[in-house]
Structure 1
Amino acid sequence: MRISHHSYSTFFRQASKLIIILVALFLCLTGIVAQLASASSGDAIPEDAIRIRIIANSDKDSDQSVKNNVRDEVATFIESWGAMPSTHDEARDLINKNLPRIQRMVNDSLKEAGVSYGGKVVLAKVPFPEKTFKGSEYSAGDYEALRITLGKGEGRNWWCVLFPPLCLTAATASDDKASGAAEATAGKAANGDSDAEEPKAKFFLWEVLRKLFAFIASLFS
């Protein structure tokens, strides 16, 4: 049986398309794996990290609102410093240098809110309950942190990582109580839920696959 030249041409065209599809699929999957690995390693909290924790007086809405106002003012002030130093000691010195200013900001914020309690600002190793940060769990213990305690410090708190600057108004977690009982779900961050990255990742993956499928379809059109 004799195979025509046209059949050979059709076979090689289809084979070429299949090779292109496999290469595109391989590159696509390689890129996704690389991005996921980079995100996982880049978001880990290192041993020499300096955290920030702002603890509300209580869980009353009014006290939580006061905490959020203090958080916003302190975050804006810290962001005005510019890039965080590249070493732990330099970052600690910078924060220490600004402690009196932060204390004054807290005092002014509480006075403006008209509350009867004060606030205490320290940079030290302070107790943290077990935390979950961007999918990774961190055991309870003493961690270096800029801690701002408002009043009795018995309410839910806001926290994130100052050094290295993994977050500030980005993904964070919160406690149920300052005593250390962990909240069942991560608390809301300044700009959204702590789970906000998961829908974005799913959307990114879907977009990549959608474009890949469109490309494959174009080869056979």
Structure 2
Amino acid sequence: MEELHMGITERIYKKIEKHAVKICFVLAVLLASLITTGVYYRAEAAARGELQEHLAQEVLRFHVLANSDSDADQELKLEVRDAVLAYMDENMPEAESAEDTEGWVRAHIDEIEEVGRAVVAGAGADYPVSAAVTTCWFPDKSYGDITFPAGNYEALRIEIGAAEGHNWWCVLYPGLCFMDTVNAVVPDEGKQKLKNVLTEEEYSRVTADSDFKIGWFFWQR
């Protein structure tokens, strides 16, 4: 009887040992998977950060903030946008870099501000208008087939009134401030200028269908 009891106990221990080995194996696989995933995401985050920093050196963005989210203020925001872009299109010489564009904008910031004020006054509003080239944080956005990572970028920033409404932005250099929000096609000229200043790998990342969706141009109303 004692031998029978010992035999049963031994079989139970062997089963427990067998299951324990399986559990340890599964846990080891899970741990290895978690470590691999963590390494991948850290590497991906680092690559994305480097890409954003390089892009920030090569572009100048344009940011217009409405007074509020009322229909009238949102419409006024777009009128200011149109007038400022028309002024720059008529007066700004073709630039070969974001630095050149930024230099021209800084030199003509008073005129740009005055264009905005004239539009606001013409609409019968008395909001103040301020314009400056400053560092702004932009979220991940996508538009057309170009993507842009979140981060800090130099931008021409125009604030209308309290500047508490939904805003609009695009990219002044390369010239991607197009108005066709239906077809969402990025101009080939702007793409080529961007391609000239990025590495082949960087350019493939910003034109790839990836998890981070970043926009050359974003319209929020």
Aligned equivalents of 1:134 and 1:191: distance in 2?
11
Say which of 123, 132, 135 aligns to 2:133: 123
CA contact (8 A) 1:84 1:164 kept: no
Deviations 1:140-169 (A, max 9, x none): 32210001111121222221111121x12x
Deviations 1:160-179 (A, max 9, x none): 111121x12x2xxxxxxxxx
Q: Residue 53 of structure 1: CA displacement?
A: 0.9
Q: Residue 46 of structure 1: CA displacement?
A: 3.3
- Give the structure-2-normalised TM-score: 0.54
Aligned equivalents of 2:152 and 2:55: distance in 1?
14
Specify the alignment match of 1:46 in structure 2.
55
Q: Secondary structure at the match of 2:96?
A: coil
Aligned equivalents of 1:74 and 1:126: distance in 2?
19
Aligned equivalents of 1:141 and 1:52: distance in 2?
15
Q: Residue 96 of structure 1: CA displacement?
A: 0.8
Specify the alignment match of 1:197 in structure 2.
185
Gaps of 5+ in 1: 1-44, 171-189, 199-221
Whichever residue aligns with residue 191 of structure 1, its letter is D
Q: Which has the higher helix share?
A: 2
Q: Residue 82 of structure 1: CA displacement?
A: 5.1
Tell whether 2:132 aligns with 1:144.
no
Aligned equivalents of 1:104 and 1:83: distance in 2?
20
Gaps of 5+ in 2: 1-53, 187-221
Specify the alignment match of 2:10 in structure 1.
none
Say which of 96, 104, 107 aligns to 1:86: 96
Deviations 1:112-141 (A, max 9, x none): 112232111010111222221323443332
Identity of aligned residues (%): 30
Give the number of the structure with larger relative contact order, counting CA–CA contacts within 8 Å between residues 6 or more apart: 2
Larger Rg: 2
Aligned residue pairs, count: 132
Aligned equivalents of 1:196 and 1:137: distance in 2?
12
Q: Secondary structure at the match of 1:148?
A: strand
Tell whether 2:89 aligns with 1:101.
no
- Give the structure-1-normalised TM-score: 0.54
Specify the alignment match of 1:66 in structure 2.
76
Q: Residue 77 of structure 1: CA displacement?
A: 0.6
CA contact (8 A) 1:50 1:143 kept: yes
Whichever residue aligns with residue 46 of structure 1, its letter is L
Q: Residue 72 of structure 1: CA displacement?
A: 0.9
Whichever residue aligns with residue 84 of structure 2, its letter is V
- Detail structure 1 runs of 4+ shifted over 3 Å in the superposition: 195-198
Aligned equivalents of 2:181 and 2:154: distance in 1?
25
